[in-house]
């Protein structure tokens, strides 16, 4: 996916908060939620390929403001031709060497 994007954004939150939200939203047991999260790659492992990491540890309004602000800034950089190349391609190439 990253090879077709101008930027790769990663959305992350605290592990305990992710488990709590998953339990509430999907009506899962703590064990099932932990198993679901363990089946996914941790955000820390995906961070090297991301141009921006946005943490969703607060409320929805706060998170929406962060996303909108970053989106506006990235759009302005893109329109001015100053958006730096995505880190994804360099990460992908380094990962697949050898």
pLDDT tens-digit profile of 72-96?
A: 999 999 999 999 999 998 898 888 8
Longest dimension (CA), the chain: 49
What three-state secondary structure class fits 35? helix
For the stretch 35-72, pLDDT in tens is 999 999 999 999 999 999 999 999 999 999 999 999 99
Would you say the pTM of this structure is higher than 0.85? Answer: no
Note whether 35 and 41 are within 8 A (CB).
no
Which domains occur in the chain, in start order?
A: 2-95 (3.40.50.300)
């Amino acid at each position: 996916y990253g090879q077709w994007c101008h930027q790769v954004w990663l959305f992350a939150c605290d592990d305990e908060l992710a488990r709590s939200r998953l339990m509430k939203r999907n009506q899962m047991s703590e064990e099932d939620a932990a198993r679901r999260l363990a089946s996914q790659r941790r955000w820390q492992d995906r961070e090297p390929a991301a141009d921006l990491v946005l943490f969703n540890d607060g409320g929805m309004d706060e998170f929406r403001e962060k996303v909108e602000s970053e989106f506006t800034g990235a759009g302005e950089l893109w329109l001015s031709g100053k958006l730096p190349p995505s880190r994804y391609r360099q990460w992908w190439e380094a990962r697949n060497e050898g």
